Amino acid sequence: MELLGLFVLFFFAWIALKLIAVIFNVTIFAIALPFKILGLVLACLFFSLLVIPLGLFAGLAGLILAPLLILLQFVPVLLILFGIYLLVKNS
């Protein structure tokens, strides 16, 4: 239902922009220019405030966790040694 409402909203906005274009005798591209500028500004804000910090965080996490991934292959050996230690300790 929300999707249908969104389509209706876009349809009426499209009709309104067409009517404004006919009334003022300009093309739709001239009317849509402020929306394009707003989209560019919002995209720049989104990129600078969200994407760049998340990328830096992911890179830092990768640098920190890379040595742990190398040690991760020794976990089965450590578990076997710990099991042997517990068996020896209990007997």
Residue by residue, DSSP assigns the chain as -HHHHHHHHHHHHHHHHHHHHHHHT--HHHHHHHHHHHHHHHHHHHIIIIIHHHHHHHHHHHHHHHHHHHHGGGHHHHHHHHHHHHHHHH-
Would the pLDDT of 1 be above 90?
Answer: no
Of the pLDDT bands very low, low, confident and very high (cuts 50, 70, 90), residue 77 is: very high
Q: What are 2-38's pLDDT values in tens digits?
A: 888 888 988 998 888 888 878 878 776 777 788 888 8
CA 23 to chain centre: 41
Identity at 23, one-letter amino acid code: I
